[in-house]
Amino acid sequence: AQSVSQHNHHVILSEAASLELGCNYSYGGTVNLFWYVQYPGQHLQLLLKYFSGDPLVKGIKGFEAEFIKSKFSFNLRKPSVQWSDTAEYFCAVNPSTGGGNKLTFGTGTQLKVEL
């Protein structure tokens, strides 16, 4: 069964700092990849997704992620974070074939941005 690892459980940054959150998955075949965000007290929302094509994916609110197949990684980045980016971030994976509609989520990274 595939698994998703998010190694950074808690990240604290100052405003304007650059962000990179790690995501690695264990699945040998072709995958679909997602990043979701959960703001305090709110439900999960899609930030960005990768199905195929350009491995550098742009999402909402200035976020981007790069799919590196050789490293089984899909790291999330933002060049300059804002206080409003404080949230929990989840990476998720689905096999492109045979996975049905199932998503496997990582355990999440709690990001706190300080003023």
Partner 1 sequence: DAGVIQSPRHEVTEMGQEVTLRCKPISGHNSLFWYRQTMMRGLELLIYFNNNVPIDDSGMPEDRFSAKMPNASFSTLKIQPSEPRDSAVYFCASSLSPSGSLDTQYFGPGTRLTVL
Residue 16 and residue 73: Cα distance in Å, rounded?
25
Sole binder of partner 1 in the list 12, 46, 56, 68 (CB under 8 A): 46
Residue 59 binding partner 1, by CB under 8 A: no
Q: How far apart are the first and last CA of the chain?
A: 41
Pattern 63-102, partner 1, x by CB under 8 A: ---------------------------x---x-x--xxxx
Q: How many residues bind partner 1 (CB under 8 A)?
A: 22
Residue 26 binding partner 1, by CB under 8 A: no
* Of 101, 103, 106, 104, residue with least CA distance to 91: 106
